[in-house]
Amino acid sequence: MGRYVLRRLLQMIPVFIGTTFLIFVMVHALGDPVNALFGDKAPDPAVAAQIRAQYNLNDPLWLQYVKYMGNLFRWDFGTTFSGQTVTSLLATAYPATLKLTAVAFTIEVVFGIGFGLISGLRRGGVADNSVLILTLVVISIPTFVTGYVLQYLIGVKWGIVPATAGDPLTLQSLLLPGIVLASVSLAYVARLTRTTVAENSKADYVRTATAKGLPRRRVVINHLLRNSLIPVVTFLGTDLGALMGGALVTERIFNIHGVGFYLYQGIVRQNSNTVVGFVTILVIVFLAANLLVDLLYAVLDPRIRYA
Amino acid sequence: MPDLIEKKKTEAVAVSAPEKPEKARSLGSDAWQELRRNPVFLLSAALILLLIVITIAPGLFTSVDPRAGDLRNHYLSKPSYGHLFQDDWFGYDGQGRSIYARVIYGARASIIVGTCVTAAVTVFGGLLGMLAGYFGGWVDTLLSRITDIFFGIPLLLGALVVLNAFTARTVWSVVFALVALGWTQMARVMRGSVITVKQADYVTAARALGAGTPRILFKHILPNAVAPVIVVATIALGGYIATEATLSFLGIGLQDPTISWGIDINSAQNVIRTAPHVLFFPAGMLSLTVLAFIMLGDAVRDALDPKLR
């Protein structure tokens, strides 16, 4: 087990370096950050030279990357062009996004698996068909449309929950953004759970469990659901990264100053330190989630053992 | 060694000869028989056909210039809805432009982005996945790590960074950005599919008969490994259309002279409280288009998956 985790962690290093370098190249190679800073006006040559020297912009790209990574290990993410340290931005942004993601993830897991289970157990029934149609509709409507419509109806017109989530973030104000962020993934989870539950409900071990007289509740939860969860957990693991990326849209609609908000600002202003810093943390979260998923397999299915 | 190959050749001929007269249907024609009877497939195919006609000849559906604005037609001074198929059918937007005409002309950007991205991603990602899956070893290790690296960056985020570098963004820059970051999914699906197929007996048989690598890859492996890729590609097509709209909505996608549902939704977001119909029609058309492609993908998957029959 320990050796397996160690091996996986070592395998992550090249992917981590590759992904951060890729985003570094994309931000730098595709446009001059100093020009972007000055917008349509031509920058004063002396000021431009000063900025270039201060942010190592005269070095070749690989050297900039090496310097950046070296600083990163001392927990120095650099500063933005306006002088704030990126670590201070990270410290304000990540708690907000983590709260939002936690709310969305809980909604996704509870309702996604719940609906999928109900639908998969009664395949072809009224509940099944309505879940199928509803999830199809939810998947088809882009998140930003769902966001605006729900914000207008529930937040503004009926006033059930706050329409925007300001500061401080309360659970109540995060409910609506959480639902919007979770909606598409929730639909996928429900469909995935439905398929695997329906497939496994005809399995021999389910018939055995029923035949030996176990109550239906126990058959469904301990035998059927546990065995059906592996593909769902796989999806949830990769989706955690997608949720934090999807916050780009949701946070904009609901005015939450989280990762999506600062990333968008960073991209528009070509502020490489902000973009690379935020993406670096995102990549770490993404890789860690994937490792966690692989370890969860062993919990769900005792036959899987990691030597 | 040549003896052995010769022997296998005659064996293969001997086995296949008596089966000839039955002429079994291929997986493809089997799937087609299944699809023809599926109402979901017929509905989504009809919708997509309509969208393609709209893309090629928007003039058939409206004679109004979608860029011509008349402020007397501003959404506050005109009632929301009008006459069927007339230019005032869906009402007017904030610059007095016909929403119906804009919805019709907006289909072009979405369909072009969706089909071009899917085609490019399937060819490029599929090819890399096929090479990684077939050759294995260091080729697989190298290609899989590269795929992992690109997979780590969320599609929307990466596309934003790439597109931000373009000062004048057209449909083709959006296609470029989405292809540059979207090919990983296809590569992974194709790789997995090729790995299962390459162990099949008919591949060994083809190799024993002396077929070269390109022939084995394209004549034997590709036709048998392509089904999951087709399914993922069809469903992903709807996703790419939604991503294009999201990028335009965020203001880093298509730009104004181009007509796109995403741009119209972006400009409608501020008036949603006074004139919801300005948002509703482009958003509705966008959702309907994405829905059509997802339903098509679902139907194709059901038809291609023999386990469900």
pLDDT digits (tens, 9 = 90+) for A153-191: 887 778 777 777 776 777 778 888 888 888 888 998 998
Mean of pLDDT values over A282-286: 82
Mean pLDDT of B48-57: 87
Residues of chain A in contact with residue B152, where contact means CB-CB under 8 angstroms, are: 15, 18-19, 241, 283, 286-287
What whole-number distance in Å separates Cα of residue A217 and Cα of residue A225?
Answer: 10
Instruction: Provide the pLDDT for residue B179.
Output: 92
A184 touches chain B (CB under 8 A): no
- 3-class DSSP state of B272: coil
- Note whether A25 contacts B: Cβ–Cβ < 8 A: no
What integer pLDDT is reported at residue A110 of this predicted model?
Answer: 93
Is there a contact between B146 and A148 if contact means CB atoms under 8 Å apart? no
Are B273 and A152 in contact (CB < 8 Å)?
A: yes
On the question of a cis peptide bond just before residue B214, with omega within 30 degrees of 0, the verdict is no
pLDDT of res. B56: 86
B119 pLDDT above the threshold of 90: yes
Residue A173: its H or E element: helix A171-200
Task: Please state the CATH superfamily assignment of the domain spanning residues B106-291 in this structure.
Answer: MetI-like (1.10.3720.10)
Please provide residue A79's backbone torsions phi and psi, each rounded to the nearest 5 degrees.
-120, 160
Portion 62-101 of B in contact with A at CB < 8 A: none
Instruction: Confirm if B296 and B234 have CB atoms less than 8 A apart.
Output: yes
How far is residue A246's CA from residue B243's CA, in Å, rounded to a whole number? 11
Give CA–CA dist A78/A273, Å, rounded. 6
Question: H or E stretch including B27?
Answer: helix B27-36
Inter-chain CB proximity B161 and A252 less than 8 Å: no
The SS3 of residue A98 is helix
CB-based contact (8 Å) between A287 and chain B?
yes
Choose among B164, B165, B290: nearest Cβ to A140: B290
The overall average pLDDT reported for chain A is 81
Instruction: Give which of B153, B184, B267, B305 to mutate to test A binding, by max A Cβ within 10 Å.
Output: B153
C-alpha to C-alpha distance for B110 and A123, rounded to whole angstroms: 35
Residues of B in contact with A287 (CB under 8 A): 152
Domains of chain A as residue ranges with CATH:
86-300 (1.10.3720.10)
Phi-psi region of B157 (alpha: psi -120 to 50; beta: other; left: phi over 0): alpha
Distance CA A163, CA A254 (A): 7
Burial (CB < 10 A; 0-12, 13-18, 19+), residue A212, is exposed
Which ipTM value was assigned to this complex?
A: 0.80
Nearest to A16 by CA among A63, A79, A72, A86: A72
pTM of the model: 0.82
With CA atoms as reference, report the closest residue to A106 among A31, A186, A29, A167: A186
* C-alpha distance from B140 to closest chain A C-alpha (Å): 15
Average confidence (pLDDT) over B275-293: 85
DSSP string across B187-245? HHHHHHHHHHHHTSHHHHHHHHTT--HHHIIIIIIHHHHHHHHHHHHHHHHHHHHHHHH
Find the closest chain B residue to A251 by CA distance.
B250
